[in-house]
Structures are given as C-alpha cells and as structure tokens.
Amino acid sequence: MRPPSSSPPTTPRVSATFDQYVLSEIRRAAATGIYDIRGAGAKRRLPHFDDLLFLGASISRYPLEGYREKCGTDVVLGDRFARKPLELKIPITIAGMSFGSLSAPAKEALGRGASAMGTSTTTGDGGMTLEERLSSATLVYQVLPSRYGMNPDDLRKADAIEVVVGQGAKPGGGGMLLGQKITERVAAMRSLPIGIDQRSACRHPDWTGPDDLQIKIEELRELTDWQKPIYVKVGASRPYYDTALSVKAGADVVVLDGMQGGTAATQEVFIENVGIPTLAAIRPAVRALQELGMHRKVQLIVSGGIRNGADVAKALALGADAVSIGTAALVAIGDNDPALEEEYQALGSRAGAYDDWHEGNDPAGITTQNPELFRRLDPIKAGRRLANFLAVLTLEAQTIARACGKSHVHNLEPEDLVALTIEAAAMAGVPLAGTDWIPGPGRV
Amino acid sequence: MPVVDLALASVRDLNAALHALGPDTNETHWQVVNPRGLHAIAVGIDVPVTVEIDGHAGYYCAGMNKHACVIINGNAGVGVAENIMSGVVRVKGDASQAAGATGCGGLLVIEGNASARCGISMKGVDIIVKGNVGHMSAFMAQAGTLTVLGDVGDALGDSIYEARLYVRGSVKSLGADCIEKPLEDTHKDQLYSKLEAAGIAGEVDVAEFRRYGSARRLYNFHIDNVAAY
Ligand SMILES: Cc1cc2nc3c(=O)[nH]c(=O)nc-3n(C[C@H](O)[C@H](O)[C@H](O)COP(=O)(O)O)c2cc1C
C-alpha cells in the first residue's frame, strides 16, 4: 500500500542476500544458459592474514635494530631426498602459471624478476618455454594431469619438479583454456587443434591415490637421477591429510594453495565455493608435518592471496618455510593497471576488477596470446617491477621479524601472533587479541 | 652383452648405467634378469639400445623412453611406456592400466591384453594391442593411434581429440564425443603400416577393423552440449 504523501519516504532497499552482483548473475545465467568462467581467485570476503596482528617486542622480548642487524631470509627447499636442493635468497617464489594462460613476454618477465631476487619461478599447464628457461635462474617444472608438452628433456632441464594434484582456486577441477588463446604455438606445445576450447584433465592419467603417487615420485626421481627436489602441490581442502600423504609419498616439499589463490580460467561457482581459505589451511598442514617429525625437513610453501610482506611474515610465523605468489606478481608486472582504465571499460570491466583472463584480450599484454597485445609488455621493464616488488615484500617481512626480535624470518612463530576475530583465532590457532583464548578443539 | 641382475643390483644402479650411455655406445644390448615386478625399470633411456627384461615389470617400466627398444618378456604394471617419446616398447605378456599414457611418439606393442585406460591422454604414440583392452581406453586421446585386435571395454575414446582408434573386435560402448568413422583406403594404409612396424602385418586383414574418432562436438563450449560436459 502506498503511504500517504505526507509520511517520510522509504529509502529503496537492496537485499544483502540478493545484492546487485547476485541479481546480475541471475540475469546473465537466464540469458546465456551457461555458467560464468573467469580468472583470478575468490573475491568474496574471507578470514585472511588481515585478521592477524604481530605482537612485536616488549619488556620481555628484545627487538632487533631495524636497518642494521641481520635478519636472514634464505631458504633451502628439497633437502630431504634431492641431491641438488634449491637454495633461494628469499622465501617468496613465483607460482606456476602456464604459457598459454600467460603470454611469452609475461613468462619471461616473471623469470627475470625472480632471478634478479635469487628466487624461483614455475612453469604451468602447457609445458616449458625456451623464454622462461633462459630467463629463470631457478625453474620449477610442473607435472600436471594434462601432461601437455611434457618430455624427459625439459624435466631434466628443470631445477625442481612439482607434481600438481590441485589448485586452491579449484581443488578437484582441471584446467581450462578457451579457444581464443589456443594459437598455433600454444596448440603445438599441447598437441591440440588450434582454436578449440581446451579442458585439461582433473585426474592424473597414470596414478590414483597416495600409494601410486609414491611410485610416480620414485619414477620421476629415477628419470632425473635423484637430483631434483620433488614438490607436491595441493589445493587447500583437507590439508592435514594431504600434507601427511604427500610426506608419505616421498615429497621433498609440499605446496599448499588456499582458496584465494588465482586461476587462469575456472567456473566462478567453483572458485567461490570449493576449498578452504589459506589462513585455515596452514596450521593443519604444519601439524601434520610436526607429528611426522618432518617440520622444516619437508618444506611447506603456502600460497593463495599473498599480497605484501605482512602476509609473508604471517604465513612464515604460522609455520610455512616459504610462500608463493601468482596474482600479486601479475599486478606487479602490470595487470589491472589504472592507466588502462578506458580499455578495461571497453571490455565491460574496470581496472582492479578485470578477470576475464580466459578471453585473451588483456590490454596489459599479460593474459593474452594476441601478438598486438603481448608486444605491449616489455619483459625487461616488467621483470624489473617484479624484482622491486619482491624486494619490498622481503624488506617488509624482515621489518616485522626484527620488531619481533628475530634474526631470521623463519624464527617467527605463532606466539608472535594474535587474531582480531574469533574465526581467525580458531583457524590460525592463535589467541584472540587481548585474551589468552584460542577457540576450538584439536589445537597443537 | 651387459646383464643386470635385479636380485643383486638395484633399479637405481640399472637406470644410472643406462643414463650414462652415450649415443654411440657399443653396449647396445642389455639384459635385465629377476625384475620381480620392481617399479621404474629402464625409465628415461635416451639412446638407441635394446633392453630385454626377463620377467614381470612393475609400474612405469620404460617410462618416457626415447630411441631405445625395450622388450618385456613378461607382464607389465601400471603405466608401461608412459609418456614415451620415441623408440619401441614391447610387452610380451599383459599390461596393466594406463599403458602408453600420454605417449608422445614411438611405438608400444602389447602382445597380450591391456587393462583400463590404455592410451589415456595419448599425444602421438602408436599403440597396438593384440588382445583386448579395458574401459576408458583412449580417454582424452589427443593424437596418435590405438589399434586393438581384440575387444574393447566401456567408454572407448571418451572426450577424444584427434587420435585415431582402430578396433577389430567388439566395442562395449563409446565415450562422450567418440563416434565410428568410415575406414577408407588411406586409413587402411595407415593401419597396415602401423601393423607392419609392430611386425604383425600379415596376421590380420586391415579390412576387418572399424575406425573411431572424435565427433568434435565438444571442441567449443556450447549450451546444447551441456549434458555431455
Ligand atoms: C594466470 C594464472 C595461471 C595459473 N596457472 C596455473 C597452472 O598452470 N598450474 C598451477 O598449478 N597453478 C596455476 N595457477 C595458480 C598459481 O600457481 C597459484 O597457486 C596461485 O596463483 C596463488 O595464489 P595468488 O594468485 O593469490 O598468489 C595459475 C594462476 C594464475 C593467476
């Protein structure tokens, strides 16, 4: 019923449940009949590293001098079984992103930036390109279910091997690369016809379960004469068991990717609703390592939503040996740059929101195979930007570690942290700020 | 001729010795005895030598083979000749699951039967099975040929790309997007040359085979195909 004109007007109210985005998705689905596919990670608000704080030094803890006193950042990865473990200068690596999803200059830029800072980069679902091998001092080679472009020569050229079981953005899902990006070069590397929508497998073709994985790892070690560290990458869903089973299968390193982790192309419904947040995944994984007496022996690399040095420090304090970055590295080399606002708008998006990475029209020249677009990306300049960004992440993590009195970033520990919310306290296993309360059972 | 007794030496010793060979080695014929189902025997060879394994091999025997000829005088476990690049792998007995998985080139001959997922994700290898193969064979097969003289289990060629499948016996069922296609003279010629390479060209008549391949209906996302995705 319409109120009498004399009464105060009611403000139009948008539903919290049916917000504008939800409504637009219903309309889009109704119009097209197909789910939404996009790149990037979960966009919803999730318990994250922002919900943790460091306590810093106090009367009972001594800090270290901010600029002068040594605070180590080096990390050794893969010294459990490999003859040639990786020795990285910083505990921040570049995550696996395929050539195909990324342009060749983007891959080269990642290699240049990582190499300048003494850290590693990683291939992806599409094999190894010459550009990335030449530009990466330390390159990790992914063995994925699709096995696109896999061959023993590239395995031997790699510095480490990563068996990918899952990704945080889509635990249980395979890859996707839509036809626009299957150019001649990409198609040839993947032994596929040009221009098809490629769906890569979600299960490995020749092993199932932890006992098989152990034998697969043994084969990879035999192939490479026990030289290279072997990582196992899992999407965060059952991190306690996946970590324990990876250790049992003989991994040197476990890579744990939370649900905020980026992807090149996945169904939106998958990205936002499958898997658990990075924050919730770390402690169970560390607990598994500790119970097996393997913490710091089998290294843990954590990824999914790492954006700054505080995130790095927090992941390390919770027990990780290193972190890995995808999205932040892409932003550092120019993804979603506001300088390209007009072009993003022409694509129906905005700088900061652009995630149609699967369509191959990226004006920044990063998530594209279109030569006109990827020629815009100068791999040398972009590599420099990534190196700068990695340097800042490192300095920030050191700043926090020194404030907590640590002479190495690995000396950060859960006791240095408190949580701002009950959820974060329960997930990270640290007390709610101002209390000694850690909610929930099953704590270490 | 070097003889490696796996009751005395380890698989590591064997593989290290094979990896140490140069392309013009004189030690071109190796014999492996007492394999006892051990895993990863003769993986990653990169030279044109012959390795004969007298007995049963475990998982991933001759994995990623290049140039070599590996003969298994027995049965082979999971993933025999997985990701083979070139050369020949011949199994005199039966092979377990995922034989020739993701193989990129070369030839895999299985004289007995092969279990499920034979030729899964194959990318250019030629596989010939004289007996039967199990379900989900040639799943997502991208390139190469799978030839089966016997019968085939369920869901042959599910989500197949451009691989060619030749079957002489019965097919229990075809997987998504896999259809029968006419066997024309060019296919008969191709099939004959594959059989010839496997040394069995005279044993069967190529006209008795049926050819299967991709309907290419799932190559691009289309709402009308949603039930198949
Ligand atoms: C463009 C893009 C491509 C990716 N491709 C792969 C891939 O091929 N294999 C893989 O294991 N993970 C892939 N990932 C996931 C990353 O390796 C990593 O897990 C993730 O990006 C980490 O989270 P972050 O993006 O929040 O840093 C990709 C991510 C992006 C953004």
To the nearest 10 degrees (0 to 180), the angle between helices A309-317 and A379-403 is 50
Please tell me the distance from the alpha carbon of residue A268 to that of residue A122, in angstroms, as a whole number.
Answer: 25
How much of chain A, in percent, has pLDDT values that exceed 90? 88
Domain segments of chain A as ranges: 65-334+377-428
Do the domain assignments include residue B41? yes
Instruction: Give residues (CB < 6 A) around ligand 1.
Output: A 39, 41, 95-98, 101-102, 124-125, 142, 164, 167-168, 233, 257, 260-264, 303-306, 325-328, 357, 367
Q: Which of A150, A201, A206 sits opposite B79 (nearest CB)?
A: A206
Indicate if the pLDDT at residue A442 is higher than 70.
no
Please tell me the distance from the alpha carbon of residue A25 to that of residue A267, in angstroms, as a whole number.
Answer: 13
Across the range A170-191, mean pLDDT stands at 87
Contact A223 B43 (CB under 8 A): yes
- Model confidence band, residue A443 (pLDDT cutoffs 50, 70, 90): low
Domain containing B120: what range? 3-219
Instruction: Map residue A51 onto helix, strand or coil.
Output: helix
Q: Is B59 on the interface with A (CB under 8 A)?
A: yes
Atom index in ligand 1 nearest the CA of residue A126 equals: 8
Q: Is B153 on the interface with A (CB under 8 A)?
A: no
The ipTM value here is: 0.96
- Atom 30 (ligand 1): residue with closest C-alpha? A263
pLDDT score for A444: 44
Chain-centre distance for alpha carbon A222: 29
Do the domain assignments include residue B84? yes
Contact A191 B16 (CB under 8 A): no
Q: Which residues of B touch A225 (CB under 8 A)?
A: 15-16, 19
Please tell me the distance from the alpha carbon of residue B36 to that of residue B57, in angstroms, as a whole number.
Answer: 6
Q: Which residues of B touch A199 (CB under 8 A)?
A: 159
pLDDT score for A175: 80
Across chain B, the runs of DSSP E, i.e. the strands, are: 3-5, 29-33, 50-54, 69-72, 88-91, 107-110, 123-129, 143-148, 164-167, 178-181, 210-214
Instruction: Map residue A438 onto helix, strand or coil.
Output: coil
The number of folded domains in chain B is 1
Do the domain assignments include residue B86? yes
Structure tokens belonging to residue A291: 């119970």
Indicate if the pLDDT at residue A322 is higher than 90.
yes
Contact B39 A197 (CB under 8 A): no
Contact B82 A206 (CB under 8 A): yes
Mean pLDDT of the residues in chain A: 95
pLDDT score for B224: 63
Instruction: Give the DSSP H or E segment for A76.
Output: strand A75-77
Contact A151 B220 (CB under 8 A): no
pLDDT tens-place string over residues A58-96: 999 899 987 789 999 999 999 999 999 999 999 999 999
**Phi, psi of A211, rounded to the nearest 5 degrees:** -70, -40
Residues pairing with A96 in the sheet? A122
Atom index in ligand 1 nearest the CA of residue A98 equals: 8
Please tell me the distance from the alpha carbon of residue A358 to that of residue A178, in angstroms, as a whole number.
Answer: 6
- Atom 4 (ligand 1): residue with closest C-alpha? A97
Atom index in ligand 1 nearest the CA of residue A260 equals: 26
Evaluate whether B101 touches B83 at the Cβ level (below 8 Å).
Answer: yes
Q: Which residues of B touch A212 (CB under 8 A)?
A: 59, 78
Contact A191 B43 (CB under 8 A): no
Evaluate whether B24 touches B42 at the Cβ level (below 8 Å).
Answer: no
Evaluate whether B137 touches B115 at the Cβ level (below 8 Å).
Answer: no
Q: Which CATH superfamily is domain A65-334+377-428 in?
A: Aldolase class I (3.20.20.70)
Compute the C-alpha angle B53/B36/B77, nearest 5°.
Answer: 75
Across the range A100-128, mean pLDDT stands at 96
The nearest CA of chain B is from the CA of A368 a distance in Å of 18
CA of B15 to the centre of ligand 1 (A): 34
- Model confidence band, residue A22 (pLDDT cutoffs 50, 70, 90): very high
Do the domain assignments include residue B167? yes
From A37, A43, A167, A389, mutation site for ligand 1 pocket: most ligand atoms within 8 A of C-beta = A167
Please tell me the distance from the alpha carbon of residue A249 to that of residue A292, in angstroms, as a whole number.
Answer: 13
Q: Which residues of B74-91 are buried (b: 16+ CB within 10 A; e: fewer)?
A: bbbbbbbbbbbbbbbbbb
Q: Which residues of A touch B46 (CB under 8 A)?
A: 152
Residue numbers of chain B with a pLDDT score lower than 50: none
Instruction: Map residue A250 onto helix, strand or coil.
Output: coil
pLDDT score for A2: 62
Q: Which of A147, A190, A226 sits opposite B83 (nearest CB)?
A: A147
Interface test with A, best of B6, B11, B39, B159 (most A CBs within 10 A): B39
The nearest CA of chain A is from the CA of B66 a distance in Å of 9
To the nearest 10 degrees (0 to 180), the angle between helices A209-223 and B11-19 is 40
Q: Give the torsion through C-alpha atoms of B1, B6, B9, B11, to 10 deg.
A: 100
pLDDT tens-place string over residues A199-257: 888 999 999 999 999 999 999 999 999 999 999 999 999 999 999 999 999 999 999 99
Contact B98 A206 (CB under 8 A): yes
- Model confidence band, residue A11 (pLDDT cutoffs 50, 70, 90): very high
The CATH number covering residue B142 comes to 2.160.20.60
Q: Which residues of A touch B62 (CB under 8 A)?
A: none
Which single residue is written with the structure tokens 């010795």?
A: B17
Q: Which of A33, A205, A226 sits opposite B117 (nearest CB)?
A: A205
Q: Which of B19, B63, B159 sits opposite A219 (nearest CB)?
A: B63
Contact A219 B46 (CB under 8 A): no
The nearest CA of chain A is from the CA of B120 a distance in Å of 6
Number of H helices, E strands in chain A: 15, 16
Q: Which residues of A touch B221 (CB under 8 A)?
A: 34, 178, 197
Cβ pairs bridging A and B (under 8 Å): 101
Q: Is B40 on the interface with A (CB under 8 A)?
A: yes
